[in-house]
Amino acid sequence: MASLRSFTRLPLRQSSAAFTQRSFQTATARLAGKETALHNEGRAEEAEKAKQDQLKEQKEGRGQWKEELSSDSESIVKADRGDINASKGTIEQLQRETEKAAKEKR
């Protein structure tokens, strides 16, 4: 009985060898944020062009938020807060895009 008590009082030792295990899952890295545009073939090039434009503008001191680089949810939050350019031309453009998307969906 004494040997059992002395054994249970020993601190637990951590394993000295680290084992790595391979995952059975694979995932592809997404380079751009729009959830609705993830499977478009030219999305990576489009996002890269927008990023380069944004970096160029930031260096010139005219940096602005770019919707092309944001996710759909970020765009929605920005619109809800009223932080977007809501000129008459912008609203008309959004209406045209919505009409086009509705036609494509049919």
Contact criterion met (CB below 8 Å) for 33 and 74? yes
Report, in angstroms and rounded to the nearest whole number, the Rg of the chain calculated over CA atoms. Answer: 27
Contact criterion met (CB below 8 Å) for 55 and 47? no
Which tokens sit at 2? 């004494």
Average pLDDT of the segment spanning 27-42: 64
Q: Is residue 74 part of a domain?
A: yes
Which tokens sit at 24? 């059975």
pLDDT: is 38 or 65 the higher one?
65
Residues constituting the chain: 106
Contact criterion met (CB below 8 Å) for 32 and 47? yes
- Provide the number of structural domains found in the chain: 1
The residue segments making up the domain with residue 63 are 41-96
Q: Is residue 106 part of a domain?
A: no
Residue 102, SS3? helix
pLDDT, one tens digit per residue, over 9-33 is 555 555 555 556 666 666 554 445 6
Q: Is residue 16 part of a domain?
A: no
